Amino acid sequence: MVNALFTLPGLFPFRFRGGRLGRIVKAAWRLAAAAFILSAAVPAAAGTCSAANTYNFTFNSRPAATLSYTGSYTYTASTSGGANQNFTTSFATNGLSASTVDAGNGAVQLPAISGIVTGVGTGNTLVIGGTFGGRSNTTFTTRFIKVTFTFATPIRDFSIRVHDIDYTNDQYRDWLMVEGFNGAATYVPTLTAPGTSPTLVIGPNATYASLTAGQALGTAGNTNTGTSNGDVSASFAQPVTSVTVRYGNYPFVGNENSTGQQAYGISAISFCPMPDISTTKTSAPLATTGIARFNAPGSDVVYTITVTNSGGSPVDAASLVLTDALPAEAKFYNADFDTTLPGTDPFLLTAGTSGVTLAASNVTYSNNGTSYGYTPAAGYDANVKAVKFAVQGTMAANSSFTIKFRAQVK
pLDDT of 36: 56
Q: Which residues contact 232 (CB under 8 A, 6 or more apart)?
A: 161, 162, 165, 176, 191, 192, 193, 200, 202, 216
Any idea what DSSP says for residue 316? P
Q: Is residue 340 part of a domain?
A: yes
Place 225 in a pLDDT band, splitting at 50, 70 and 90.
very high
Query: Over the Cα atoms of the chain, what is R_g?
Result: 29
User: CA–CA separation, 241 vs 181, rounded Å?
Assistant: 6
Regarding whether 333 and 362 lie in a shared domain, the answer is: yes
Regarding whether 280 and 263 lie in a shared domain, the answer is: no
Q: Is residue 378 part of a domain?
A: yes
Q: Starting from the edge strand earliest in sequence, which strands make up the sheet with 320-325, in order?
A: 5-9, 35-40, 320-325, 386-390, 363-366
Predicted TM-score (pTM) of the model is: 0.80
Whether 294 shows a pLDDT value over 90: the answer reads no
* Residue 378: how many other CB atoms lie within 10 Å: 8
Regarding whether 219 and 87 lie in a shared domain, the answer is: yes
Domain termination residue (choose one: 258, 273, 288):
273
- For 33-56, how does the pLDDT look when each residue is reduced to its tens digit (9 = 90+)? 445 565 544 344 566 788 999 999
Regarding whether 280 and 231 lie in a shared domain, the answer is: no
Domain termination residue (choose one: 223, 249, 273):
273
Question: End-to-end CA distance of the chain, in Å?
Answer: 42
Domain termination residue (choose one: 273, 296, 330):
273
In the chain, the number of structural domains is 2
User: CA–CA separation, 3 vs 397, rounded Å?
Assistant: 16
Place 128 in a pLDDT band, splitting at 50, 70 and 90.
very high
pLDDT of 254: 87
- For 308-332, how does the pLDDT look when each residue is reduced to its tens digit (9 = 90+)? 999 889 998 888 999 999 988 899 9
- Average pLDDT for 184-209: 96
- Are 389 and 269 in contact by the 8 Å Cβ rule? The answer is no
* Residue 147: how many other CB atoms lie within 10 Å: 20
355 is in which domain, residue-wise? 5-46+275-409
The DSSP bridge pattern shows strands 55-58 and 215-218 to be unpaired
pLDDT of 34: 46
pLDDT of 295: 65
Q: Is residue 105 part of a domain?
A: yes
